[in-house]
Structures are given as C-alpha cells and as structure tokens.
C-alpha cells in the first residue's frame, strides 16, 4: 500500500525504482490530467508526465517528507507544465482539427453522435478562462473531488468551488444560446 513513509523507507534503502513503481499507478493519471489541463495536448501532456516522473525519481533522495508526497509531486508537475507551456507557442483556442484530436485523445472510439456532442462540449470548455477550464477538467477527471482538485492546483477548496460554479454557469448559458 502506498504511504509517504513506505516511499521514504524504499528511498532510504536505495530502492528508488521500487518507490517509483509504487508511485506510478497512484499518480500517473493525476499528473497526466494536471499536465493536460495546462497544455490541452495529449502528446505534450504525456511528455510532461514522463519528465515529471523522471524528475521525481532523481529528486527522491532529497525528499525529506516535510510536505506530503502528493503536494510535492503536484508542485513538480505544475512547474514542468508551465515550463512546457512557455516553451511552445501559446495559442488562445483550439482549432477544429485540434478539437477532433482532443476528443479522440479522450475517447479513442466514440460514436458519431458522441463525437459531435463531445466536440461541442470541448469547445465550450476551451472557451472558459484558464483557471475555470483547469478546475472543470480536473474535477470531472478526479471523480468530482473538490479537495483533490484543490491539492493538484495548490488553491483553497473554496476557490475551487467558486471557479467550478462560475464555469458551470458560463457553460450552461453558452449551451442555452
């Protein structure tokens, strides 16, 4: 079972590979989701996720356990995502082909109707301000946990709730047009 103490124990015993093997199933999807919420590009998000785990592997001997492992890993993931975002040319919204790619990336075999619905929904999400968009993506990826999203984005739970409410209201209004 994954606990911070168990990971620290493995690191002290110079068994970093085992520590990573323990961390990977617990954090892979969350780190990928966090990177995807910044980058909105599946390949770039996967690359960042790989970089994050390599950075974690390298930095594990220096992890002192003062912060929790999840807080530490999410901080590395946020920094890596922001660096990747700065490195690539920023674009304000997704093109049609990018929307289709993104829908296929999320679900590789959707029905034709689902493609249309999801593409429309993804466009609505894409038009949200950055923080609202990130909260929406992570909230529905994280099985609707406000605390989980707050931890990933390093913001108070109240802020997550406010951003989520604003995003939902905005999306409902846009969908009703």
CB-CB neighbours of 24 under 10 Å = 14
**Between 66 and 108, CB nearer to other proteins:** 108
Q: How many residues does the chain have?
A: 177
Q: Of the candidates 109, 87, 106, which has an alpha carbon nearest to the alpha carbon of residue 41?
A: 106
- Smallest gap from Cβ 14 to other proteins, in A, equals 11
Among 3-11, 73-81, 112-120, 154-162, which window interacts with other proteins (CB under 8 A)?
Answer: 112-120
Q: Can residue 33 be called a binding residue for other proteins (CB under 8 A)? A: yes
**Between 89 and 177, CB nearer to other proteins:** 177
CA distances from 121 to 27, 35, 153, 176 (A): 27, 20, 23, 12
DSSP-H helix ranges across 40-156: 42-59, 69-87, 96-106, 112-126, 130-141, 146-153
Residue 19 · residue 11 · CB < 8 Å: yes
Q: Can residue 136 be called a binding residue for other proteins (CB under 8 A)? A: yes
Which uninterrupted H or E stretch holds 5? Answer: helix 4-12
Q: Can residue 57 be called a binding residue for other proteins (CB under 8 A)? A: yes
Among 8, 85, 100, 121, binds other proteins (CB under 8 A): 121
Among 6-14, 70-78, 81-89, 121-129, which window interacts with other proteins (CB under 8 A)?
Answer: 121-129
What residues make contact with other proteins under the rule CB under 8 A?
A: 17, 20-21, 24, 28-29, 32-33, 36, 46, 49-50, 53-54, 57-58, 106-107, 114, 117-118, 121-122, 125, 136-137, 140-141, 143-144, 168, 171-172, 175
């Amino acid at each position: 079972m994954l606990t911070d103490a168990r990971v620290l124990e493995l690191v002290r015993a110079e068994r970093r590979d085992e520590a990573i093997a323990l961390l990977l199933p617990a954090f892979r999807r969350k780190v990928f989701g966090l990177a995807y919420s910044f980058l909105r590009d599946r390949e770039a998000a996967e690359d960042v996720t790989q970089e994050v785990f390599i950075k974690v592997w390298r930095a594990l001997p220096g992890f002192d356990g003062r912060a929790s492992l999840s807080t530490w890993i999410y901080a590395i993931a946020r920094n890596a995502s922001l660096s990747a975002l700065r490195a690539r040319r920023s674009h304000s919204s997704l093109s049609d082909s990018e929307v289709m790619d993104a829908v296929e990336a999320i679900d590789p075999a959707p029905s034709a109707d689902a493609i249309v619905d999801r593409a429309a929904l993804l466009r609505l999400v894409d038009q949200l301000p950055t923080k609202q968009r990130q909260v929406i993506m992570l909230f529905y990826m994280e099985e609707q946990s406000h605390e989980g999203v707050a931890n990933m984005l390093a913001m108070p739970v109240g802020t997550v709730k406010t951003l989520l409410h604003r995003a939902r209201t905005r999306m409902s209004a846009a969908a009703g047009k």
